Amino acid sequence: MKNPLLLTALLVALLLPAAEKAGAQQIPVNYDEAKVPPYTLPDLLTTKSGRQITSRKQWESHRPELIRLFSEHVYGKMPTQPVRLRYETTSVDLNALNGTAIRKQISVFFADYPQLPPMNILLYVPKGTTQPVPVFVSMNFQGNHSVSTDPGITLSTRWLPNLGAGKVVNHQATEAARGMQDRRWPVPMILARGYALATVYYGDVEPDHPDGWKTGIRSVLSPPAGPDSWGAIGAWAWGMSRMLDYLETDPAVNARKAVLVGHSRIGKATLWAGALDSRFAAVVSNDSGEGGTALARRWYGETIEHLNTQFPYWFCPQYKAYNKNPNALPVDQHQLLALIAPRPLYVASAVEDQWADPKGEFLGAKATEPVYQLYSKTGLGMSEHPAVNQPVGQTVRYHMRTGVHDVTNYDWEQYLKFADELVK
């Protein structure tokens, strides 16, 4: 299909239940830059009381206010009670992937909530390393077995999304599903560059459908109640921090050099996790779009109203108050990205993924520069949206590659270079 905008619309339609499709199709979509109305972003360096921020110390004091606003109006309040975790290594292969890797599978049990199934971590570490290695941390969409054709990966027994079915079904994994998304996970490339890879199926934390919370972590930690209740995005972000809790106990990896990576809806969760948990050394957002890196006040591609119509369980209920008026939202996404400072941040787009608003993603990253400057860090260093396949920036980086909404080897090549220069 030659029209990428039409292709995007069709893909979205395939993934939506019928009732949600009908509602989403009635919401106007703009793909004309000339029709984007004027908007004014909240000033990064001005507090709610009007005080100007001129130092790192003042910014650090301002961070809790921004986190509170995002908690109350976008992602919901995260639970504060500690959760006891118990780790059980279920398998180890010292000669995985033709002898190039050590593969470990670890079940993370929630000791205070035995009714919950565990979160299962798949960890690959390059073979032959003598020191703890930096690690990429991410979640996958179709089960750990989808990441690689490695026959030793345990097939998931959880609810899995049956893409294209148009309804919630319990799709069980089979051998045919092994490696079904390995194109998104160039494990040999990552290992060859000296990094470990840790991934978890996001459905282990909460299945991705409206009733998923009933069998996920939100069923026992702060169940939905009230306008600022946390949504699925918050649950997945919480799970990423629990992954890091485990990695801090594993002597094979250097958890202080953990690079958090996420695509699409997991990209949104990755940004929220990275903003909340400063233990992550760097954050990478791949095609996260609306509710992620794209500016909410820009009327282009997906909007807040689209999100809340298609996926009403992702965000807090209060977020729906801004469906028709994003300018009333007390925050915008550039402030979320700035909460990652001074740590390295990478934002990536795809030229045919107009639904995610590539220019809006670029502008979100660009707008973080005043905060990074407080830390004497250089951001993108340019004002114009760069050409395709032309990465830009230093501590904050950006690229827009050819192709559609996906994760490609080109993306990973940039993330590895980014990590080599700023983390490793």
pLDDT tens per residue across span 24-52: 779 999 999 999 999 999 999 999 889 99
- Over 50: is that where the pLDDT of 19 sits? no
Q: What is the pLDDT of residue 161?
A: 80
Q: What is the pLDDT of residue 170?
A: 54
- For the beta carbon of residue 311, count every other beta carbon within 10 angstroms: 21
Q: What is the pLDDT of residue 12?
A: 41
The span from the CA of 81 to the CA of 92, in Å, is 32
Residue among 357, 347, 333 at smallest CA distance from 396: 347
Mean of the per-residue pLDDT values for the chain?
A: 93
How much is the average pLDDT of 333-353?
98
Which stretches of 139-280 are DSSP H helices?
187-192, 232-247, 264-276
Can you identify the CATH homologous superfamily of domain 67-422? Alpha/Beta hydrolase fold, catalytic domain (3.40.50.1820)
How much is the average pLDDT of 412-420?
98
Confidence of residue 164 (pLDDT cuts 50, 70, 90): very low
Residue among 331, 386, 395 at smallest CA distance from 74: 331
| Chain centre to alpha carbon of residue 397 | 16
- Provide the residue type at 119 as one letter: M
- Over 50: is that where the pLDDT of 16 sits? no
Residue among 257, 255, 239 at smallest CA distance from 418: 257
Q: What is the pLDDT of residue 244?
A: 98
Residues 6 or more apart from 323 whose CB is under 8 A from it? 303, 304, 305, 308, 309
Residue among 94, 191, 80, 195 at smallest CA distance from 152: 94
The shares of helix, strand and coil residues in the chain, as percent rounded to the nearest 5, are 35, 20, 45
Give the torsion through C-alpha atoms of 28, 33, 35, 40, to 10 deg: 100
Confidence of residue 17 (pLDDT cuts 50, 70, 90): very low
Distance spanning both ends of the chain, measured CA to CA: 41
Q: What is the pLDDT of residue 162?
A: 64
Q: What is the pLDDT of residue 168?
A: 46
The span from the CA of 38 to the CA of 234, in Å, is 30
Give me the active site residues, please: 264, 405
Residue among 174, 148, 172 at smallest CA distance from 161: 172
Confidence of residue 1 (pLDDT cuts 50, 70, 90): very low
- Over 50: is that where the pLDDT of 251 sits? yes
- Over 90: is that where the pLDDT of 234 sits? yes
The span from the CA of 380 to the CA of 370, in Å, is 11
- Over 90: is that where the pLDDT of 8 sits? no
Q: What is the pLDDT of residue 20?
A: 46
Lowest mean pLDDT among 12-26, 145-159, 262-276, 362-376: 12-26
Question: Running DSSP on this structure, what letter comes out for residue 149?
Answer: -
Q: What is the pLDDT of residue 23?
A: 67
How much is the average pLDDT of 262-285?
98
Q: What is the pLDDT of residue 21?
A: 52
- For the beta carbon of residue 151, count every other beta carbon within 10 angstroms: 10
How much is the average pLDDT of 186-214?
97
* Token pair 């921004």 in the structure block, residue: 66
- Over 80: is that where the pLDDT of 7 sits? no
